[in-house]
Structure 1
Amino acid sequence: MAKAYSYIRFSSPEQEKGDSTRRQTALSEQYATQHGLTLDDSLRMTDRGLSAYHGQHKTKGTLGAFLKLVEAGKIEKGSVLLVENMDRLSREQVLDALNQFTSIIKAGITLVTLQDGMTYSEESITRNWTQLIVSIAMMARAHEESATKAKRLSSAWKEKRARIHEQPMTAKTPGWICLSKDRAKFELIPEVAAAVKAIFRMKAGGKSTHMIERELNDNPKLWKPPQDGRNKAGGWRKSYIEKILRNRSVIGEFQPHMLIERKRQPIGEPIKDYFPPVIDSDLFHHVQGIIKANGKLLGRGGGRIGKATNLFTHLAKCGLCGGALHFVDKGKPPKGSQYLVCDIAKRLRACQAKPIRYDEFEQLFFQNFEELDITLLVPNNSELESQLDLLRMAVSANQQRLTELETEIVNLTDSIATTGDKRVRETLEKGLSHRYEELARIESENIDHAQEITALEQQRINLQANIDRAMELYGILDGAAEKDRIALRLRLQREIRSLVDRIDIYPLQEKYIEFEEVEPGIVKHMASKYIDKVRIRFKGSRKLRLLYLKRHAEIQ
């Protein structure tokens, strides 16, 4: 008994909700029974939501798998492929659809279109070639219908976009926005918008998403997402907060999308001022900078529990091996304390660095700021002017070259327009292309130079301002309440990250003796039980700040 294979396809979710699957399945079973065929359902040939117009059912669907089995000879000759209509098999351009059709027939497979009862096989087409003409006409009609529909949808979409500031393009909105009652404009949902604002303010304050999640859920005055199918418990989740923090809809932007091969793809440029904004663009971009900086550090915005207990996360390194110094809390004094521990020494035992008391280093770090002369870190006036002169000279040279290039481009363009020789034209076009590439490179170089000039001119001012801010925050920590201390430490952590590139701490490796006469008349003084020396690299400075905590002096 010959085998029959039923192929079912529908291109939209609406068809799946309707009668499409049941109808196509019933037709296949009825035909198989009437013609004594065994209906093989082992391949389960159903393509849901795949377009035959774009050929997705061949590249991603079960029909493509079936066709490969046909090509490999694994579907027996004489087998029957059952489809509701010719357009279920393909809506591609006629030549592509015909090629697929003939490859099936030539492989010895009989094709049956169930709705009109037509049977196509090599034998039937040889006997009655008009079948081929009829099938081509059906393929052409199917493609034309889909092409017309695609054009109509595209035209409607373009018309909607053209009127986008007069009428909302779609009823779909972010969770803090709704359509007005007359459906003519968008409106903020006040209580939800207030929660979104709070999210951005907390992130700008340096809080981690974990800490924001906890505070939002603990605050009875702030709106919380209700229970639904995806959020069964209700309340704020870290993943949703992270999506909001990156969503440009909060500043009023809308990015239109279209489904292309079952994936939402952005179409065109984002549309500004489409939604009512929740926050201003300055706050949004400030938060994006924080997220980007945290991403580079591969860390959390305030520690696992959001208390910023370690102000030097990702900055402090072991001076002996270069490994990261991790914060380890061994409980409260007097029995316990907090330490900076070399990761390589702890995990791999490949470094001899001893733990360093965290509180001692933190105090040392800020004491150093009080004594710091920033003129030792930034170039002096003559060095600065020398660097600026070199950069300005490079900009001037580039500007002259840009003028020359613009003249060359005009001349080459005129020559291309007047020459009739194809070979000469090709040579000139290559030369023109090279000029444009060089023009873009030099313009980019000048932008870099301009930014470097600005950075050098602002270097000393910015460095001093950052140090002053950090010292101010550190100075008010002791008198602050616990809740305020967390926020202050988070801000202080951010200031230190903006100020410092790297801190190398060299642990004291010998026994601590505060004063020791190492030879007659010479005494060694150890200022720390845990630290030998510290090396600090400030951002924007090529010089290092060195702190020695072990010194030798003559006895007076």
Structure 2
Amino acid sequence: MTDAYIYIRFSTPSQEDGHSYERQYKGGMGLIAEKGWTLVETVEDLGKSAWKGKHLNGGELGKFSDRVRAGDIAPGSWLIAEKTDRLSRQGWEELFDWLRDMTRKGLNVITQDNHVFTQETMRDTISVIRILLEGQADKAHSDKISDRVSKAYNDSIEKARNGGPKISKKCPGWLELSEDRMTWIRKEDRIAVVQMIYEAAAEGKGSRWIAKELNERGVLSWGGARRKLGGGWDATTVRWLLTSEAVEGHYVVGAAAPKKVKDPGRRIDNYFPEIVDADLVARARAAVDGRRLTGGRDTSNVVNLFRGVVRCQQCEKPMRLTNFHGVHQFHCANWQARRGCTNSSYFMYQPFEDKALDLILTRVLDDRYFSRADDTYPLTVEVAERKNELDEAQARLDRAVDQIINGANPEIFEARIPGLKQGLTEAQSALRDAEQRLLRARGSVSADEHRRRVLEVRDSITHEDKETRVAARLRVMQALKSYVDVVWCNGANEWEGEEHKTFALHLTSSSYIAVITDEGRVLMEQNFLDEIEDDDDMENFAWGDAKTEKHLTDLIRREKQG
């Protein structure tokens, strides 16, 4: 019996709900029955466009082609496609090369409209001409459809940008389109959930943590597929919400699938209603960008303030924190897994934390970690809002220039240009003024006031109230991971004739080093910050890295204030 394979492809997922799949499959089975062949397998590229031809190499058809080349498909087998445009719409060259390659490897190809491609017919000039003409026709048809779709989509974008109907019903889960397609209907319960997620992120909580809390509270997720499967919140969904410009009211063309859009990245401001204020967005995303958590069972309690930086001095691999009868201890993950490290020591965590915070907390806990308590908070809000106003002013000017270039009522738009330029200048000036006032306000906190605030935080990290304790520990952990380069654990450190289990704490670029025993005793403390007096000294420590230089500058400023 001759083996046969049916190839099914359609461009958009919506076609799966129609008759495209069923039509292609039934047509293939009819041809198999007519020829007396045996169906071995159905090769499916669902939701794959033939415009770019990626399915020929990277899709399921591409994988099938590799099997043919490897000899896994029996010579003389037949691949059935509905039409040649199911194989490619790129034009005749790509299709011809692929067919020649497959037929030389022993695979025959046939379409349901009776075009046959074998090694013999490929030598026939008439068959080659057929491929040329049909491939070219398919390409022209594809380009024509693509141009029409692109023009219609661009027209809908411009109408929406100028206050017309919305582009489509597709929108974030916290909104719904009105029947006349002109306005968005808010779903306040879902908006409250999004705001809750941003507040949690601004506090320093990671995506997994936030998802876990939402599920524990019984907060329902939205989305048809997720709800049908009974699934709750997950880290991926939370991360998407924390990066989505839709919460600020912006619509970004192709944001969900940029590779499927010809001109992704175009933005329509104020397309959606803003549901999270600019300051909260800025604080939450700053916290997300600065987070490098490595997980662990005690993440929600923020047990390990030095997460991600504690390493074994012998093998240089991460140390693992475990809870043994209520006592937290570090041990080498490599030693536990028997991967060659012989550092079998267990290091007491709590005495190290207590002493390390005594030594460095006033240095690393900078003014910005008190932004909600300081008078700087209103100015932070103002700066974020001024940035949005500047973006909107620039966008209005850009749209007017585009209209002039495209010849759409140039006299009207040319008359608006001076006013738009003036608005842009005023927005720039307002932003500069707000930023300068914010910098001045942040620099006005006295050293005594700072020490008082640090002591309050120091007391709060062991507070009996969990919410107070977690908030304080999150604040400290964010500060530590900005300035602590590494903590080396040495299980046999010889010091003045005695052997100790020690933590060697290094701040930015080893500008400050402290060696602490796991009993909480300081063996050595070296502070090089006072030695950084000029640019040459800074270069020796920072090695030209701007981020390191900024951290060193912060540490020196705090050292002088302390």
- 1:486 equivalent to 2:478? Answer no
Q: Percent identity?
A: 21
Are 1:320 and 1:506, in contact at CA under 8 Å, matched by a contact in 2?
yes
Aligned with 2:347 (options 347, 355, 359): 355
> 1:312 matched to which residue of 2?
306
- 1:329 equivalent to 2:298? Answer no
- 1:278 equivalent to 2:280? Answer no
In the alignment, the residues of structure 2 paired with residue 188 and residue 214 of structure 1 have an alpha-carbon distance, to the nearest angstrom, of 26
> 2:141 matched to which residue of 1?
145
> 1:292 matched to which residue of 2?
289
- 1:255 equivalent to 2:255? Answer no
> 2:213 matched to which residue of 1?
215
Measured at CA, do residues 291 and 148 of structure 1 come closer, stay the same or move farther in structure 2, by a change above 3 Å?
same
In the alignment, the residues of structure 1 paired with residue 137 and residue 264 of structure 2 have an alpha-carbon distance, to the nearest angstrom, of 29
Are 1:307 and 1:490, in contact at CA under 8 Å, matched by a contact in 2?
no
Unaligned runs of at least 5 residues, structure 2: 366-438, 525-562
Q: Which secondary structure state, in structure 2, belongs to the residue aligned with residue 329 of structure 1?
A: strand
In the alignment, the residues of structure 2 paired with residue 308 and residue 537 of structure 1 have an alpha-carbon distance, to the nearest angstrom, of 21
Deviation at 1:4, TM superposition (A): 7.4
Q: Which secondary structure state, in structure 2, belongs to the residue aligned with residue 147 of structure 1?
A: helix
The amino acid across from 2:459 in the alignment is G
- 1:365 equivalent to 2:356? Answer yes
Q: Which secondary structure state, in structure 2, belongs to the residue aligned with residue 206 of structure 1?
A: coil
Q: Deviations over 1:124-182 (max 9, x none)?
A: 9999x878767655444333222110111111122223233223223212222222343
Measured at CA, do residues 342 and 182 of structure 1 come closer, stay the same or move farther in structure 2, by a change above 3 Å?
same
Are 2:514 and 2:522, in contact at CA under 8 Å, matched by a contact in 1?
no
Deviation at 1:287, TM superposition (A): 2.6
Unaligned runs of at least 5 residues, structure 1: 375-454, 512-517, 519-523, 552-556
Trace 1:59-98 onto structure 2 (pairs within 5 A): 59=57, 60-62=59-61, 65=64, 69=68, 84-88=82-86, 90-97=88-95
Deviation at 1:192, TM superposition (A): 0.8
> 1:542 matched to which residue of 2?
511
Are 2:490 and 2:501, in contact at CA under 8 Å, matched by a contact in 1?
yes
In the alignment, the residues of structure 1 paired with residue 461 and residue 200 of structure 2 have an alpha-carbon distance, to the nearest angstrom, of 19
Deviation at 1:113, TM superposition (A): 5.8
The amino acid across from 1:361 in the alignment is F
Deviation at 1:476, TM superposition (A): 4.2
Deviation at 1:257, TM superposition (A): 1.9
Deviation at 1:482, TM superposition (A): 3.4
Q: Which secondary structure state, in structure 1, belongs to the residue aligned with residue 176 of structure 2?
A: strand
Trace 1:92-131 onto structure 2 (pairs within 5 A): 92-97=90-95, 114-115=112-113
Q: TM-score, normalised by structure 1?
A: 0.60
Q: Deviations over 1:331-382 (max 9, x none)?
A: 35xxxx44455667766673475633x44334333444699999xxxxxxxx
Q: Which secondary structure state, in structure 2, belongs to the residue aligned with residue 496 of structure 1?
A: helix
Structure showing greater radius of gyration is 1
Q: Deviations over 1:37-61 (max 9, x none)?
A: 3324235456544444433453335
Q: Which secondary structure state, in structure 2, belongs to the residue aligned with residue 92 of structure 1?
A: coil
Aligned with 1:195 (options 193, 196, 200): 193
The amino acid across from 1:306 in the alignment is S
The amino acid across from 2:307 in the alignment is T
Q: Which secondary structure state, in structure 1, belongs to the residue aligned with residue 273 of structure 2?
A: coil
In the alignment, the residues of structure 1 paired with residue 142 and residue 225 of structure 2 have an alpha-carbon distance, to the nearest angstrom, of 35
- 1:163 equivalent to 2:159? Answer yes
The amino acid across from 1:186 in the alignment is W
In the alignment, the residues of structure 1 paired with residue 47 and residue 260 of structure 2 have an alpha-carbon distance, to the nearest angstrom, of 11
- 1:180 equivalent to 2:178? Answer yes
In the alignment, the residues of structure 2 paired with residue 268 and residue 537 of structure 1 have an alpha-carbon distance, to the nearest angstrom, of 42
In the alignment, the residues of structure 2 paired with residue 55 and residue 343 of structure 1 have an alpha-carbon distance, to the nearest angstrom, of 47
Measured at CA, do residues 371 and 467 of structure 1 come closer, stay the same or move farther in structure 2, by a change above 3 Å?
closer
In the alignment, the residues of structure 1 paired with residue 505 and residue 3 of structure 2 have an alpha-carbon distance, to the nearest angstrom, of 78
Deviation at 1:123, TM superposition (A): 9.0
The amino acid across from 2:245 in the alignment is R
